[in-house]
Structure 1
Amino acid sequence: MTPRRLTAAALLAAAALTLGACGSSSGSGTTTLAPTGGSNKTVVVHSRNGGFDPAAIYRAAAPGVVTIRSILPGGATSLLGGGGTQEAVGSGFVLSTDGEIATAAHVVTDAQSGGGGPIHEAKAVYIQFADRNQVAASIAGYDPQADVALLKVDPNGLQLRPLPLGNSAAVQTGEPVAAIGSPEGKEQSLSVGVVSATDRSIPSLTAFQIEGGIQTDASINPGNSGGPLLDAGGRVIGINEQIATRSGGNEGVGFAVPMDLVKRSLDQLRANGSVRYAYIGVTTQTLYPQLAGRLGLPVDAGALVTKVIQGGPADDAGLQAGTQQIEFQGLKATTGGDVIVAVDGHKIVGDTDLPQLIAQHQPGDTVTLEIIRDGHTQNVDVTLGERPQSGH
């Protein structure tokens, strides 16, 4: 994944993936959006005949989108390569009139996609608003697991325009979206597209994946990182984070961190300055009907346990990993271990179901797994641990 922040020195070209509220509508084509917090102003998006109106979305949302300049620590190597002090440019958006700003964690740290050692905060962070005011910001906290950061500015003398937060669980493939940010350092730029897919797994700043990612063809380029992805009503449904590219530029495959995950992260960052995630300690392979038939399993969906992390929660609960490998339809499958088919009664069908179900819990919670072992169904209780920043 390519980072969507921009350094003053150079852009990274990579042949891989790089890090680049409630609404109501009426027949008049007016959508009223109420951001969280009683002191915040209401934003109104007037759409043409109730349709997608990028100009109206831009007029309403752009005042709440900011450009972020980060001075990275000396001697550190950033996502975009190089060492020594660097200036990185990204985007963000206003959360509240109290001075809260949301952005991507890699905009204000030297974090590496997929992990890669200690993470260092920027030495200094500056926020430039649409009205040309520019002020220093502090980092209230960052979450490398979701690539989310919470910044704080002194609101005195500023006219802050919070953006309303949407519900990413309701996002559907094909719906129109708009991205606002500072691609290539060009502030307050608008691009539009559609949601190309949902429930994507995308790299985080740790060894784990961000689940439920939103894929879009809206143009996202270096400097867009941390900016909002907006639905037709002007609600933020994700934080723009990275693109899949071979050239280092946008090729129509961009990704955003889903807003429901962002809100969870922001809540904990406000309260604690950091975020904890539940951890089960397994590596799995997705089961599909034809593979299930080949393996003679009594189910056609689930997660084949291919590895159990020693000393982890699943290991403590006695889960068993497969030890044999077969080749089927040109792919290798690890067999002979447990098959997880449900978590607390919620069936596992897709690739992201198991990690998303675990992520809904807190460390210390106990979940009941329905598993298939040696052809028989049984339940296993697992007390979840806390996810590390490395490992599985």
Structure 2
Amino acid sequence: MNPIASPTTLTGQPLSRFPGLRTAAALLALALLPTLASAREEAAPRAVTPRGGLLADEQAVVGLFEQSSPSVAYITTETVQRGVFGGAEVSQGAGSGFVWDATGHVVTNFHVVKGARRVFVQLDAGKPIDAEVVGGAPEYDLAVLRLKSVPKNLRPVPLGSSRDLRIGQTVYAIGNPFGLQRTLTKGLVSALDRELPTANFREVAGVIQTDAAINPGNSGGPLLDSAGRLIGVNSAIRSTSGSSSGIGFAIPVDLVNRVVPSLINRGQAPLPGIGVTPISPDQVARAGISGVVLGAVGRGTPAAAAGLQPYNPQTGDLGDVIVGVNGRTVQTLSSFVSELERAGIDSTVELTVRRGDKERRVRVKVIDLRG
């Protein structure tokens, strides 16, 4: 049986016969190991490809955000609620808002601050500031806050107009969806003149529909046009999941600009009406009646001056049923209120009134029911 052959050199002689060479070979192998490992494990950073300047439309959006975002507020609230076992529990809420003027007024949705015990407003990267609610209009889902400590150099959002908006215009929403502050989304004006149900069987007319992503927490934040002007207040979404589905609604700025000064000055907003007390829409619907059935007509009101007659519970006579305003069909109380809001206080509207099988038209002045 032959012994295992020893490693040989290039001369064919065993390395064991050359102890000096064997040691040198071992040292050379050890010296090469770090170099080989380095070649396998380390890589140099790639060079950055210069991109040049931003495109013009990108730069415009960046500028819009940098100019507008310091005016957007992150609003948090504390509300006391009755607990399961009768005790008081403090719950927290959040939403968005924006600076209205340099004296510290901030606009948001009414539902953001409804029932709040404490309200805090955070602007830009500053600390939360205590605020108080100075006025609220649930019929328009608008509220005004006043900062208790007014920072220097407040920057109100520039006002635009919603009257001349066109479907297809680019719009931007800035807010705090899911508590993620100062989030910018972009979209289009998807539709105009929508109606948004609010409180007391009322609807806001002329609402802007947009596909800019609006999520919980965006409520009360500004909807801006491409010039950075306020055109609406983001208020609601239509979604089966509770998140954005590309259908959001904003209260038009022309309405906001009428309501907010009244909230600041009086704490409440004007309420258009003609001096009637309608019968509950649920009762009217169950009776299969289309239109507004009058439960009462106030003395000395425009409705009384126009000769409108209410429902008579003794005889069962429906009286006058309002079925149209200024040529537009009215089938529900909410649509009637929307038409009065569209016409505005101190205007005169033409009502289409049905009594039995006959219709007639009467002219009635729209007044502020809150005086």
TM-score (norm 2): 0.68
Name the counterpart of 1:326.
Answer: none
CA distance in structure 1 between the aligned counterparts of 2:70 and 2:330, rounded to whole angstroms: 39
SS in structure 2 opposite 1:74? strand
Name the counterpart of 1:75.
Answer: 82
Whether the 8 Å CA contact 2:325–2:336 is kept in 1: the answer is no
CA distance in structure 2 between the aligned counterparts of 1:165 and 1:108, rounded to whole angstroms: 23
Whether the 8 Å CA contact 2:193–2:207 is kept in 1: the answer is yes
Query: Could you say what the CA RMSD is over the residues aligned between the two structures, in angstroms?
Result: 3.7
CA distance in structure 2 between the aligned counterparts of 1:232 and 1:350, rounded to whole angstroms: 36
Name the counterpart of 1:248.
Answer: 242
CA distance in structure 2 between the aligned counterparts of 1:129 and 1:174, rounded to whole angstroms: 31
Shift in Å at residue 245 of structure 1? 1.1
Shift in Å at residue 367 of structure 1? 2.8
CA distance 1:84–1:341, change in 2 (3 Å)? same
* Aligned residue type for 2:369: E
Name the counterpart of 1:80.
Answer: none
CA distance in structure 1 between the aligned counterparts of 2:364 and 2:230, rounded to whole angstroms: 37
CA distance in structure 1 between the aligned counterparts of 2:149 and 2:330, rounded to whole angstroms: 44
Equivalent residue in structure 2 for 1:58, among 58, 61, 65: 65
Q: How do 1:1-392 residues align onto structure 2 when only pairs under 5 Å count?
A: 48=56, 53-75=60-82, 84-109=89-114, 120=115, 122-154=116-148, 156-280=150-274, 281=276, 305-311=291-297, 316=304, 317-319=306-308, 339-340=323-324, 342=326, 347-348=327-328, 355-359=337-341, 360-362=343-345, 365=346, 367-369=348-350, 371=352, 378-382=361-365, 384=367, 386=369
Name the counterpart of 2:38.
Answer: none
Shift in Å at residue 231 of structure 1? 0.6
Structure 1: gaps of 5 or more residues: 1-46, 78-82, 110-119, 286-303, 323-335, 388-392
CA distance in structure 2 between the aligned counterparts of 1:258 and 1:270, rounded to whole angstroms: 18
Shift in Å at residue 72 of structure 1? 1.2
CA distance in structure 1 between the aligned counterparts of 2:147 and 2:124, rounded to whole angstroms: 15
Shift in Å at residue 318 of structure 1? 3.9
CA distance 1:96–1:357, change in 2 (3 Å)? same
* Aligned residue type for 2:340: I
CA distance in structure 2 between the aligned counterparts of 1:354 and 1:207, rounded to whole angstroms: 10
Structure with the bigger percentage of helix: 2
* Aligned residue type for 1:367: T
Name the counterpart of 2:37.
Answer: none
Name the counterpart of 1:42.
Answer: none
Shift in Å at residue 308 of structure 1? 2.8
CA distance in structure 1 between the aligned counterparts of 2:73 and 2:149, rounded to whole angstroms: 14
CA distance in structure 1 between the aligned counterparts of 2:348 and 2:211, rounded to whole angstroms: 37
